[in-house]
């Protein structure tokens, strides 16, 4: 973890500082902003805390995420000082035991922390919640997500090929941060559903794979559209995977309007998808229609498994299907984001963003 640099000269000096940061191994492969003393002090001041305030210990190395160290990484990521309360709340969320950053960081799976911002702070900081929500073009999304990833690496030790052993990885390991499009959401937004007030600003941490697109331009009823979404959810991990945990479904505003227009609640959506994604034991046997299937010790619990019709759910409970609305108002596309669920998995964690008055 670099200390603040005193370089403040012209372009050559700045270029040298960037090269120093590469040499110290604290970048994500892209150039970072040199964390000069002045820049870091401004970030600390915007946090509302003291430099040595300890926010969390970051797994798996349990590095000390003080306000100052968070500020250094936020500066390197390109954050504006006013983003600091969001970054701090993100650190708190991903370091909760329920999130299991240790497992997420060390897994060979694809997952990376996705941060979902809710509440008034979205507008105050110009967080993208609409068109191209997972893409580039918004400083808040890009740099907040990048800062949190740098913190996971520089303070938590999740270095690619050292601790972070993901076989494939995914682009969200550079930055993965969106806002919910609450203005286009016909239901309660994510944070309100989880017990926060509409006026609260929050950030949720979710260990997710890359978004998988769901295309459905023709369905005009909730049941037809949700059947399409269920078929996309069916292939998460693989078509016979069971006992999965938290998974995010990002409905576009057009798809959300179709479903809500038929009077469906979030709970009804969750229950419908959960029920549709159950399969009988006989269709989940290892080696049948693909090598994966129920573990042998689970199969052994059922009499005559080759003919057994007992339904096994893909997800442990309907509540594990987390539904939010984001993206542009034009286009009948949605996305599903598989979660990290092995062995017991990572759970979505939401923290309040404390904005300095």
Q: What is the pLDDT of residue 102?
A: 96
Q: What is the pLDDT of residue 6?
A: 57
pLDDT band at 275 (very low <50, low <70, confident <90, very high): very high
Strand (E) or helix (H) holding 88: helix 84-94
Residue of 106, 108, 144, 109 lying closest to 124 (CA atoms) = 144
Q: What are phi and psi of 339, to 5 degrees?
A: -100, 170
Burial of 153 (0-12, 13-18, 19+ CB in 10 A): buried
Residue 224's contacts (CB-CB under 8 Å, 6 or more residues apart) are: none
- Domain positions in the chain are 1-209+347-357
Work out the percent of the chain whose per-residue pLDDT is above 90.
92
Residue 161's contacts (CB-CB under 8 Å, 6 or more residues apart) are: none
Q: Average per-residue pLDDT in the chain?
A: 95
Q: What Cα–Cα distance (Å) separates residue 100 from each residue in 53, 63, 210?
A: 23, 15, 19
Q: What is the pLDDT of residue 11?
A: 56
pLDDT tens readout for residues 21-59? 999 999 999 999 999 999 999 999 999 999 999 999 999
Q: What is the pLDDT of residue 291?
A: 84
pLDDT tens readout for residues 245-274? 999 999 999 999 999 999 999 999 999 999
Q: What is the pLDDT of residue 357?
A: 61
pLDDT tens readout for residues 286-319? 999 888 999 999 999 999 999 999 999 999 999 9
Question: Quick one: average pLDDT of 323-336?
Answer: 98
Please say if the pLDDT value at position 114 is more than 60.
yes
The answer to whether 270 touches 264, Cβ cutoff 8 Å, is no
Phi-psi region of 283 (alpha: psi -120 to 50; beta: other; left: phi over 0): alpha
What is the side-by-side strand order in the sheet with 112-118? 177-179, 112-118, 202-208, 349-352
Q: Is the dihedral of CA 89, 95, 100, 106 positive or negative?
A: positive
Q: What is the pLDDT of residue 345?
A: 86
Please say if the pLDDT value at position 229 is more than 60.
yes
Q: What is the pLDDT of residue 314?
A: 97
The answer to whether 225 touches 217, Cβ cutoff 8 Å, is no
Model's pTM, two decimal places?
0.95
Please say if the pLDDT value at position 78 is more than 90.
yes
The answer to whether 354 touches 89, Cβ cutoff 8 Å, is yes
Q: What is the four-CA torsion angle of 159, 164, 166, 171, rounded to 10 degrees?
A: -40
pLDDT band at 355 (very low <50, low <70, confident <90, very high): confident
Question: Quick one: average pLDDT of 198-203?
Answer: 98
The answer to whether 108 touches 117, Cβ cutoff 8 Å, is no
Q: What is the pLDDT of residue 278?
A: 98
pLDDT band at 324 (very low <50, low <70, confident <90, very high): very high
């Amino acid at each position: 973890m670099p200390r603040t640099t005193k370089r403040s000269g012209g372009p050559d000096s700045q270029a040298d500082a960037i090269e120093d940061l590469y040499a110290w191994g604290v970048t994500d492969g892209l150039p970072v902003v040199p964390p000069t003393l002045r820049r870091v002090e401004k970030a600390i001041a915007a946090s509302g805390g003291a430099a040595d305030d300890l926010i969390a210990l970051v797994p798996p190395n349990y590095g000390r995420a003080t306000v100052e160290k968070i500020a250094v990484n936020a500066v390197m990521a390109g954050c504006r000082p006013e983003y600091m309360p969001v970054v701090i709340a993100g650190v708190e969320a991903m370091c909760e035991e329920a999130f299991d950053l240790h497992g997420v960081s060390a897994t060979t799976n694809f997952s990376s922390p996705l941060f979902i911002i809710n509440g008034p702070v979205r507008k105050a900081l110009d967080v993208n919640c609409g068109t191209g929500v997972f893409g580039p073009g918004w400083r808040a999304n890009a740099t907040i997500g990048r800062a949190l990833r740098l913190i996971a690496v520089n303070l938590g030790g999740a270095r690619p090929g050292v601790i972070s052993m993901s076989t494939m990885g995914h682009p969200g390991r550079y930055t993965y941060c969106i806002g919910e499009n609450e203005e286009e959401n016909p239901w309660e937004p994510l944070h309100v559903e989880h017990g926060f007030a509409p006026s609260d600003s929050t950030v949720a941490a979710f260990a997710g794979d890359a978004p998988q697109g769901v295309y459905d331009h023709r369905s005009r009823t909730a049941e037809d559209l949700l059947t399409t979404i269920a078929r996309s959810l069916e292939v998460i991990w693989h078509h016979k995977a069971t006992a999965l945990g938290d998974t995010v479904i990002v409905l576009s505003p057009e798809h959300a309007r179709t479903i809500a227009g038929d009077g469906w609640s979030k709970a009804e959506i969750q229950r419908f998808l959960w029920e549709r994604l159950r399969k009988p034991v006989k269709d989940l046997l290892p080696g049948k229609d693909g090598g994966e299937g129920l573990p042998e010790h689970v199969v052994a619990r059922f009499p005559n498994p080759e003919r057994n019709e007992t339904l096994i759910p893909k997800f442990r409970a309907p509540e594990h299907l987390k539904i939010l609305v984001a993206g542009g108002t034009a286009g009948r596309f949605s996305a599903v984001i598989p979660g990290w669920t092995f062995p017991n998995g990572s759970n979505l964690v939401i923290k309040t963003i404390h904005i300095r008055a």
